[in-house]
Structure 1
Amino acid sequence: MKWIENISEKFEELKQKIDTSTQKIVEKKLAEYSEQQAHQFTKVSQEIVAQKEVAKHLEDEIQESIKNIRGLTSEYENTITENAQKTKKQEEDIENLKNEILSLRSEYEDFKITATKQIRNSSLISAVVAIIAMVSVVLIMK
């Protein structure tokens, strides 16, 4: 029976050695895995930082674009306002020219009427002068 006890003891020793070796292997693998995870975590952290920098750069570009768009919009609004004012001024000038043309037409019509009257009056005066001259000639001949 001693033999069985020896085998049993040897089996226990072997079992302990296996357990110890297994535990060392597991600890080693866990350490390797932890190191890999730490390396991967560092890598992911670096990628996150890089992505944050890219995002910040894009945000800055977007803000600059918004600023430029606002500036262009303001310029466009100013141009529209200036053009509207110019158009209004041109419309006023056109209206003034129309009124001036109407006034000139009215003056022309008045001038035509006055000229026609003067021509008639001068014709009448000429006729009266001619009649007076004829009467004078007739009176002188008598």
Structure 2
Amino acid sequence: MDTDKPIIIGCDHAAFELKEKIKTYLMDRGYRVEDAGTKSDVSVNYVDFGKKVAAAVSKNEYSRGILLCGTGLGMSMVANRFAHVRAALCSDIFAAKMSRLHNDANILVLGGRVVGDILAFEIVQTWLDTEFEGGRHLERIQSIDI
């Protein structure tokens, strides 16, 4: 992924700490990061932040986004309600790679209470580095949007 293009990132309180670490990881590698919140570990409604990130990606304001909550499940459900969003909940490197290679996932979702820092960094980097394969996979993706 081109580091000149900004990435939008958002989380709830349960994943605030991991979001901050991922944000630093990305900025240290030259990525521009837009933080959609939350800004602390005070309890919030994850839906609000999932909608911010998913709406921005859906409108093509950002080509990629990252969402985090305790398990990643809630954020996945919210994000995938938006047109043209393909949010992939990934807790391992292989899933991150395949979500890009075959599914052209444009939002990566992580569980802050599921993956540790080092694994999260590896998942994020793999997801950002993997290009969409296209071909037969493009037809399948096009058939998702109704």
Normalised TM-score (structure 2): 0.12
Structure of higher RCO (CA pairs closer than 8 Å, 6+ residues apart): 2
Structure whose residues are more often strand by fraction = 2
**Which protein shows a greater Rg?**
1
Structure whose residues are more often helix by fraction = 1
Normalised TM-score (structure 1): 0.13
